[in-house]
């Protein structure tokens, strides 16, 4: 598989673009993720001409509006320039399958960025560039490097990147009723682990040649919104038990008891998800099922990422 195009704040790749002339190189990003993602670095503050090093900027609430201004020189207001730069990048963002931002940045922070009002900071802001970029590209999976340290958030982001990548590959091959319904079938179990899949299924129930394009647009919008919800242990257990049903004629009583026990161990938090998945894969190698074989649930991304081992 080709590397997946993902945007990223330049400083996270070790580029010396920070306001102090330094960087924030992230070893996990430049190590593990770089094996699978083709990173497209960008620093909006440098691109709008602030230079490196440069006077520090921060977010300030002025007359109920958020402005990005200089800390030492409040007359330096780069709000509009950052907005415009994100809009200018819109077509480039359309080619990406994800974006990793620098946390706490007044330009790139995704959430909980300090906003000053009356001289007091409130962590309820969004970086100016990041906010406009996310508004212009609502399907794009976006995450901050700091939050990637959380196993659940990391897995959720990477899963969404791969789903959007597969969606774009499908569109590149030509959207058809068959390709869309097949895409849904292969992701159905993943959807179940996040939320109820029936709404998306009902959306496709009335699919025809005349409404294919608008239904597809609505489908991917709903799908990417659904996948933002972190998959819960309870939902995973429901999916595992659903998959187990495809083996009811193939398992001996002892094998069934062992599988039930392992799923229960996962439910109680004693083993990670990879344990019941590995056991299920073992049984399906002996008793293959075409639907399970095509589903992305048990192999949502390259196993070398080892996310299910958490």
Tell me the pLDDT tens digit for each residue of 157-208: 999 999 999 999 999 999 999 999 999 999 999 999 998 888 999 999 989 9
Residue spans of the chain under pLDDT 70: 1, 306-310
Q: ∠ CA 146-192-234 to the nearest 5 degrees? A: 70
Residue 255's CB is within 10 A of a number of other CB atoms, namely: 15
Burial of 241 (0-12, 13-18, 19+ CB in 10 A): middle
List phi, psi (to 5°) of 306: 55, 30
Tell me the pLDDT tens digit for each residue of 50-61: 999 999 999 999
- Confidence (pLDDT) at 310: 56
C-alpha to C-alpha distance for 43 and 107, rounded to whole angstroms: 9
């Amino acid at each position: 598989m080709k590397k997946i195009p993902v945007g990223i704040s330049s400083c996270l790749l070790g580029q010396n673009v920070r306001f102090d002339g330094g960087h924030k190189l992230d070893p996990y990003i430049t190590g593990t993720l770089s094996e699978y993602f083709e990173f497209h670095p960008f620093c909006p503050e440098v691109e709008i001409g602030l230079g490196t090093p440069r006077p520090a900027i921060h977010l300030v609430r002025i007359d109920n509006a958020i402005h990005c201004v200089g800390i030492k020189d409040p007359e330096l207001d780069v709000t509009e320039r950052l907005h415009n730069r994100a809009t200018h990048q819109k077509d480039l963002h359309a080619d990406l399958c994800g974006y990793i931002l620098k946390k706490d940045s007044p330009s790139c922070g995704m959430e909980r960025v300090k906003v000053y009002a009356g001289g007091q900071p409130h962590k309820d802001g969004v970086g100016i560039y990041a906010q406009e970029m996310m508004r212009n590209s609502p399907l794009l999976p976006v995450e901050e490097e700091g939050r990637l340290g959380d196993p659940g958030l990391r897995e959720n982001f990477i899963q969404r990147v791969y789903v959007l990548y597969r969606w774009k590959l499908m569109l590149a091959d030509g959207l058809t009723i068959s390709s869309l319904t097949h895409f849904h079938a292969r992701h159905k179990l993943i959807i179940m682990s996040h939320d109820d899949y029936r709404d998306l299924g009902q959306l496709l129930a009335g699919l025809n040649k005349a409404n294919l394009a608008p239904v597809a647009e609505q489908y991917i919008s709903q799908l990417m919104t659904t996948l933002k919800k972190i998959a819960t242990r309870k939902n995973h257990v429901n999916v595992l038990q659903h998959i187990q049903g495809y083996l009811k004629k193939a398992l001996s009583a002892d094998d069934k008891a062992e599988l039930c026990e392992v799923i229960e161990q996962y439910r109680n938090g004693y083993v990670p998800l990879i344990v019941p998945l590995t056991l299920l894969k073992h049984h399906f190698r002996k008793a293959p099922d075409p639907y399970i074989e095509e589903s992305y649930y048990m192999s949502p991304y390259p196993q070398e990422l080892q996310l299910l081992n958490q």
